Structure formats: C-alpha cells, structure tokens
A and B are shown apart, each in its own frame.
Chain A
Amino acid sequence: MTDLTATRTASPTRAPSRKDRSEDDAITLRRREKRLAAIFLAPTVIGLGLFVVIPIIASVVLAFFRWDVISSPKWAGLDNFNSLFTDPTLRSAFVNTIFFVVATVILQLSVALGLAVLVQSRMPRWLQSTLRSVFFFPIILSAASVSIIMSYLFNQQFGLVNTYLHDLGFGSIPWFTNGFSAQVMIILIYVWQNFGFTFLLFLGGLAGIPRDVYEASAIDGAKGWRQFVHITLPLLSPTTLVASVMAIISALQIFDQPYVITQGGPGNSTETVVMVIYQDAFGQLQFGTASAIGVLLTIVIMLVTALQFRLSRRFVYYS
C-alpha cells in the first residue's frame, strides 16, 4: 500500500499505464482474498483457540499447581510429576492401556480390513450398501448407552446371554467379574463400536487401487491371497498408516466403556489412564496431578505418532 501511494505521489501527472492498472487490480484482488480467507478461517481459529489451545495451555500450567477447584491454586513445582512415577495405580493403568491399545488396534484394523475386502468383492450393489451401513452403524451410537446395554446383556446373574447359555447347558460366565474376561469384553465392545470408521477408510483405500494392477498380476498368475499380500496390502499402506494412527490415538484415550461397565475393576484390571485422570480430578480433587497425567499422556501420544510416521518411511508405499 505504501509503495503504491508513493508511486502515485511521485508522478501525479502521469496517466496510469495498463501495466500499472493490472498491478493495482492484482494487489486489490490479493487483499480481498486475504480478507475473505481471514473471515472464513476466523470461526475455526477462534474455536480452536478457545476450546483446544487455551485448555491445553491451561492444563500444562495447572500441572505445576495444587488445585482442588474450591481453594486457590498453590504452586507445586514438579511435585505433581514426581508423584506420577511412584503411583502404582497409574503404573497399572498404563500397563492396561497399552494392552488395550495393542489388542484393539490389531483387532480393529484386521476386522475392518477383512470386512472392507469382503464388501468390495463381487456382490450385489444393494448388499454392498446395506453392509456398509450395518458396519458403520455402531459408531453413531453413544458409547455410554452401548456400555449400559452391554452390561445388562452380559450381567452374570440376570443377563440375556447367560440366560441363553444356561438353557444350552453352560454355566454362568463371569463376563465382567473376572479380571481377564472383563478386559477381553471391554476390548470386544470397543472394537465392535469403533471398527466402522476404519472400515470406511479401508473401503476408500481399496476403491483407489487401480483394477489394471490386479488384471496385470492375474495375467502373471497371481490370484487371491498372493494378490492381497503383494498388491492390496502395499497399495493400501497409506490408508493403513492413517487408520492405525487414528486407532492408536483413540485407544490410548479409552474411557467410556470401562468407566460405565466395570469402573476399572475387578481390582485395577480395566482401569485406564484417562480413568485415573478423571478419578484424580473429580474423585480426589487433585486437578494438578490429573493435569500432569494428561500432559504425560499427550507426550506419549505424540511420541507414538511420531514413531509411526518415522516407521512409515520404511513400510508405506505412496506411489
């Protein structure tokens, strides 16, 4: 703007040339575009700032204080972080969470990929779209509602499942009252509810693989399993990377299912890191410690994601 004004005042009598006019137009257009871009971006930036950036900064700051909501925060230095390393509950919650992540991610990716390949294979169009809806359906349900219904269905004493099993001559199975079976059940319920999104990602990825690659490989004698291993899997690797990053991040934050169904029990067998954060904050009124665990979990998630992207250089095939 300054340059333009300077040019105009330096030669007030000279009529603007066609070049000058087109430069003016270009500058005006760029300004308008910038303004428009700012207007369109503003809601997202404001939203992100208010609901993501500020809370993140606040929780990092809070991690260095002792605060119970009721009294004023008191400076705690690194005490909140130091206490994490001696807390056996948090240690077992991390172990449980890692177990959940490994199991759910492997299951979720395998089930989603298997079903995506199945749906993509030769079958009537109406059946394809029906199956797509059916597999995606659980993800739109509320996790809390699903958990409540599951806890009723699998109630050891009066649950529908045990009632039928009893009629078939089986004993009463302690689905949620035995540490290991409770872990398995939480994993299965979580995977059942969440694989739909990964399934859609894989469907998209499969649709993007050119048919001629399969045709060429068929001419060379490759079929079925070999095509899957040598064509589908490598060409699907970018999708697999995205799906696995999202699945891991989501599984590291598992909360609803164990909170509603088992409250972390029996013992500490289904207690996860986010449950400890909730319990420390709202059960013990230790918002500083809870924030410190939150910071730690965020660092873990960032490290795992960074590691995945680093490994992807070796395993992901982009061209």
Chain B
Amino acid sequence: MTDITRRAALGVAGLGALAALTAGFPRLSGLDIPGRHGNELRVALNGTQQQAAQQAALVKTFEAEHPDIKVVMIPIQATDWGQFFAKILTMVAAGTPPDVVNVATEGAQLFANKLAEPLDSYVQRPADRAAMQDYFSDVHPSLIESFMFKGSLYQLPSNFNAANIFLSNAALHKAGHDYPPDDWTKDDFLAMLRAIKKTSPGAVPFYWTNRMWGGVTPWLYINNTSILHETKSPAGAAEKWLWNGFYRGVAAARGRSGGPLWLHAQATIDPVEETFELLREMVRDGLSSSPASGGGGALVPQFASGRVATTTAGGYWVDGLHQAGVKNDQYDVQFMPKWKSQSHQFGASGWSMMRSSPRKEQAWAWLKFCSTRRGMFLSAPTPTTTPCRRSLCAAKVEIDGVTHPYYAAEGPKHWRVFYETLDRFPGTGPFTAPPSEPAIELALDKNTINAVTGNSRQLRAALRSLQGDLTRALETTS
C-alpha cells in the first residue's frame, strides 16, 4: 500500500476544491440565471418546474410563430400568491426581474401600482386592433375591469375562478334533496345542510377554507358587503377606447369604471358582523367545519371520499376531482345561494408586462399570443381553471380545425355555472385586493378563526381586531 503524505493529500484536496470552484463558477457568479446574459424573454409563473413544463406546448407554438423570440419559463414555487410576489420582489432587488409575470387578482394592484407597464397604448395599436377586438368580444367586461387600476389596463386576463358551491350528489340524495334551483336562498342552503347533517353523520355538511378566495368573502358578497369599502376609479380615457370602443353596445360593459379601489376598512359594520355571525352559527351548529388554513388542493380527497358534502370552489376544481377519480355524475356545481344579493366573488389571472423590461415588444407579443383562443387553450388544455374567453368555456373546443373535448370529457353536469356566474349577476366582482393584499389577507385569515369559533362577544372583538389590522395595512401602503 502506498503511503500518502499529508502534503500530497492537501495538494489533491486543494486541486479538487479548485476544480469544484471552476465547475460551479457559473452558479456562484449567477451566470446561469436564465436569460440574465442572453436576450431571451423571461416569463415567470407561480408553479413548479412540472407546471412550467406543462406550458411547453404554449411556448413551442409561440416560438414557432415568433422565431426571433426565445422564451425562458421561470417557475416560482410558492405556497400562496403573497409568497410568489415576495419572490418576484427578491428577483427585482437582485437586479434580475423577469420580463413578464403571471399575476393573479391578489397581486394585480400591487403590480399595477409599482411594477407593471400599462397596456392602454399597446391594445390600441392599429396593427393589433382586430386581434384585440376578437379578444374583448369574447371576454366578460367585469374580468377586464378587475385588472384596471386608476383608469389604465394592466393585464389581459386569461383565466378566472368564481366561488361557486360544489355539491356531492350522493350526500344530497341521501338527504332527500335534489340539485337546487339557480335562485336558491341562504335559508334553502341551511335547510339542506341540516338534512345532510342528519342523514350523513360522518360527513362535514359544508367545508370552507380560511382564506381570501372562497373563505368568508363569498358570504360577504351575497350579503352585499365587504371588509373593505369599495369605490371605483373614473374610467378616464378608457371610457372612450375601451367601454365605448372595444365594448361598444355591450350591455354588461355599461357604467364600467377605471378599476376598483379599496381605501377604507369596514370590518365592524353591521352587515359584515351579520355575515360572520351566520358562519359562526353554522360552525356552532355543526353545519360547517371550523375553518382551516390552506388551499383547495388538500380538500379534493375529502370531497372525493364523500367526507365533505358541500364546499365553495371554482372551475379549477374540475380537473383536480377528475384526477382524483371522481366521476362527472358524482358531483355538481351551483351558484352561491341568494341572501341580499347573489353577487359572487372571483379571482382571475393573466400576464403582466414588467415596467423594467428592456424587451417590451417581445413581452407584448407574448401577451397578445396568450390572449388568442389558441394561446389561452394551450395554457390550460384541461379544466384546471375557467378560461376567460367565453368560447373556450364549452363542452367541446375547436382549435385550428381540431375538436377537443373540454367539459364533455370532464366536468359536472352544470358546468355552465362557471361562466354564467359573470353573466347572471352583474354585481359579481374581484375579491378585495388593494396593493397591500398580502397584509389584508393575513389579517382576515388570523381574525376569522377567532370570529367564528367563539361566542358573539368574541366575534365582535375579533372584528375590532380585524378592523385595526386592515386599517394599518391600508395606511402603510397608501
């Protein structure tokens, strides 16, 4: 056996370290950050590497149409939109911001306020007029209005999810109830829950998640109220080019504004208290679960196994249930019941062009492509969400002469509810998402549990605490 001297061992170790340093230099120096030194269009989306890979068809088709543009998809993994935006901000701080970001309602105003490029001049370009007219004609104006901020348009929304009620057919039938009518009321809903509680003792009659989308908010909306007072920005120039331009003659576009504004908290007003009281009573009477934090994903197996009879969810759930083995006839979907109104809340998302991008023309080409029928379909070829184009929200979708089954392949019997939520109820709008949305959502989540799990006195104390938290959140970003 050869003796290895200490000096030789140190030399070998040193050489090894040098080789590792050389090999890792691109990583250590940040040279390998996608698009940092190239001219690729950097597109960030909230999702995993796998989800980014699912956009391969979209990217490939775009690059085939635009051979001069190379797209780099940057998946950013985050537990919620707040964390996603925090990571985008870190990229901004590091000097490597993406060119285009997929932004949901949660971050729409934060981006519009600080990071996004207004699209007003782009959509009005004569060369793009026909394409834009085709897009606006196919998209409900309330979705467009939700992405307007202080009179300017910041995104072309591509998908949305309104909070509807998903119903387990087995639990309903066991309770002696049929599919409810469109204009059912809050009391009809409560009666159904009571019947389910009696006939399915092991099941949770109504399950809800403690979060902004689909938590308390849908109940506040049907009670014609909200935790933040909503006003509208004047439409300004958009009155002419958008509402009386692209949307000329469309009844649903009449009276639309330059975007919602949420400037004051109103968590202690009577209608808000009344709404929380309803949920508190539902929890107390065992009609509803005690709200747990988290997204809808964790709930799929519970609904699939019949442990949850009803819940609030949106079109995004269809594919999730299908993947979990739930058959189309095992469940159905209906509007939220009527209380003082039947206005729904929705959340939407679309692509936003970064103000800092040096590749704005390429970014606009991407936005435009994603707003086409083909682009929008390629980004979600199965019902993982509700497409913003009405023509794609169909049993079968025809793209480039090929017919694809959409809701015909997977989806509940009343899938039309998803888009009709916008058509049937003019008051339907985005959930409260001012520029300080992450702080607003956190305040709501933290105080909701206290509000609905104690007595009436605790409820009022929780709402006072919520009011304080909301006021501070709005003040600090105003």
Contacts and interface: CB of A to CB of B under 8 A. Distances in A.
Interface of A: 68-71, 87-89, 151, 155-158, 174, 177-179, 262-268, 271, 279, 282-286
B302 A266 contact: no
Interface core residue of B204, B289, B447, B450 (most chain A CB under 10 Å): B450
Interface core residue of B115, B445, B449, B465 (most chain A CB under 10 Å): B449
Given A264-B442, A265-B446, A156 B89 contact: no
Contact of A69 (B92, B447, B449, B465): B92
Contacts of B290: 156-157, 174, 177
A158 B469 CA distance: 30
Query: Which 8 residue pairs spanning A and B have beta carbons closest together?
Result: A265-B446, A282-B86, A266-B449, A283-B438, A70-B114, A283-B439, A266-B450, A267-B450
Given A263-B293, A286-B476, A68 B442 contact: no
A158 B442 contact: no
A89 B472 contact: yes
A285 B89 contact: yes
Contact of B114 (A68, A178, A264, A271): A68
Interface of B, secondary structure class, is helix
B477 A70 contact: no
Interface in B414-449: 436, 438-439, 442, 445-447, 449
Contacts of A178: 453
Interface string B315-334: 00000000000000000000
Given A70-B115, A285-B477, A263 B446 contact: yes
B468 interface: yes
Contacts of A268: 446, 465
11 contacts: A69-B92, A151-B293, A156-B289, A156-B290, A157-B289, A157-B292, A177-B290, A282-B83, A283-B436, A284-B476, A285-B114
Contacts, number: 86
Nearest to A182: B449
B93 interface: yes
Contacts of B85: 282
Contact of A177 (B114, B207, B292, B439): B292
B34 interface: no
A267 B453 CA distance: 11
Nearest to B85: A282
Contact of A282 (B291, B302, B438, B450): B438
Nearest to A270: B446
Interface of A, secondary structure class, is loop
Nearest to B114: A70
Contacts of A177: 290-292, 449, 453
Contacts of B59: none
Contact of B465 (A151, A262, A267): A267
B196 interface: no
A237 to B, nearest CB: 40
Nearest to B113: A70
A283 B82 contact: yes
A156 B292 contact: yes
A264 B446 contact: yes
A267 B442 CA distance: 10
B462 interface: yes
Interface string B449-478: 110010000000010010011001100110
B446 A158 contact: no
Contacts of B92: 69-70
A284 B289 contact: no
A158 B89 contact: no
Given A265-B445, A282-B86, A285-B114, 19 more contacts: A69-B89, A70-B114, A88-B468, A155-B292, A157-B290, A157-B292, A174-B453, A179-B450, A263-B442, A267-B446, A267-B465, A268-B446, A279-B438, A279-B442, A282-B85, A283-B82, A283-B438, A284-B439, A285-B477
Interface in B62-119: 82-83, 85-86, 89, 92-93, 114-115
